[in-house]
Amino acid sequence: MIPITSVRFGAEEEELVLQVLRSGSIAQGPMVKRLEDEFASLIGVRHAIAVNNGTTALVAALEVLDLEPGDEVVTTPFTFVATLNAILEAGATATFADIHEDDFNIDAASVASNITSRTRVLMPVHLYGQMADMDPLTEIATANGLRILEDSAQSHGATYKGRSAGSFGLGTFSFYATKNLTTGEGGMITTDDDALADRLRVLRNQGMRERYVYEVAGHNYRLTDLQAAIALPQLARYDATVGTRRANAERLIAGLASVPGVVVPQQYEDRQHVWHQFTVRITEQSGLTRDEFVSKLQEAGVGAGVYYPKLLFDYDAYRNHPRVISTDVPVAKRVASEVVSLPVHNALTDDDVSTIIEAVTNIVGGA
Ligand SMILES: *Cc1c(COP(=O)(O)O)cnc(C)c1O
């Protein structure tokens, strides 16, 4: 079976983790500081603040935007549940805009029609490793006085017109086990704003500026040096990691582009994709439903993932939630029934990529 993700570490990670273990200081310390500095430089921002996961990164980022009850955050319904959970945990109300079928990301025109007098934050999610179309989104945010918070959990190092995900306002990242960079659990917040960065550092550490001097009611959102030690070597070779993912993606695109009913991911000249996922759409023309396609893939020994099978507001947990405002989003609704992600990770061999292409071609050809 070719797995949909594969997590592997090298001698550098082992070495650095041992160094932390032997130092006897395993909580937040110098390794976390190094990771913050190096991550800030990857993204091209003044500040990176490490936290314990990508969800708390979102919660903390929302908290420093000083939202009032009833204030709305407009985002995409086609994302991982953490995006919505963070909005709710921060006490805000979630509203939703539709997406583009070509890049799977939030559609600026739909954002514009969902802005109300209570909208305060625009939260694009850069899905699968590719950024949303930021120019029209930035324009709308500016015209309506909205803050931009980019959920970049899947898009470490992705760019749009040369600017990185997480550099348009506040950005958040996840280092969960399956993400492009991982510490098992972990997260990061990025910003150029000195004052927000300062508040975030205080907020993640119990609201404490110095020992027992509490400025705000805070959290324990700290990352540990043990975790940072796992991330530093991955960061050092991240260009190569993305290069391998990109090469795999290029081969998959070339091999699958002419298969009827399989729509390969769209690339844009001015956006650098970091290929967290390689996601195709299985349309009617394939003669198969998405779920039939996925089970045949499994039979052929190819692991596949469906990210995400339903829109968030279509789950019972949120359907009647007073702070979850559902809207009509026809594109997102259809796309959620069509998407399948195929393996694109670094551990794939050339043979694996050939096997994936053959399996998809045979399954659709035999339908
Ligand atoms: C993974 C992810 C998160 C949450 O990150 P965790 O580290 O798992 O808390 C948030 N948003 C998106 C889009 C994600 O993919």
Whether residue 151 contacts residue 172, with contact meaning beta carbons closer than 8 Å, is answered with yes
DSSP-derived 3-state class of residue 244: helix
Q: What residue has token string 């204030």?
A: 71
pLDDT tens digits for range 195-240: 999 999 999 999 999 999 999 999 999 999 999 999 999 999 999 9
What distance in angstroms lies between residue 18's CA and the mean position of ligand 1's atoms? 28
Ligand 1 atom having least distance to the Cα of 187: 7
Q: How many residues does the chain have?
A: 367
Whether residue 258 contacts residue 280, with contact meaning beta carbons closer than 8 Å, is answered with no
Report the C-alpha gap between 367 and 88 in whole angstroms.
43
| H-state helical runs in 99-209 | 108-113, 134-144, 194-204
Query: pTM above 0.95?
Result: yes
Residues of the chain scoring pLDDT < 50: none
pLDDT value, residue 297: 97
Whether residue 273 contacts residue 129, with contact meaning beta carbons closer than 8 Å, is answered with yes
Report the C-alpha gap between 244 and 347 in whole angstroms.
9
How far from chain centre, in Å, is Cα 156? 8
Nearest residue to 222 via CA among 65, 29, 23, 83: 29
pLDDT value, residue 365: 86
Ligand 1 atom having least distance to the Cα of 179: 1
The secondary structure of 25-63 as a DSSP string is --SSSHHHHHHHHHHHHHHT-SEEEEES-HHHHHHHHHH
Identify which of 52, 105, 176 to mutate to test ligand 1's pocket (most ligand atoms within 8 A of the CB): 176
pLDDT value, residue 366: 77
114 lines ligand 1 (CB under 6 A): no
262 lines ligand 1 (CB under 6 A): no
pLDDT tens digits for range 156-207: 999 999 999 999 999 999 999 999 999 999 999 999 999 999 999 999 999 9
pLDDT value, residue 151: 98
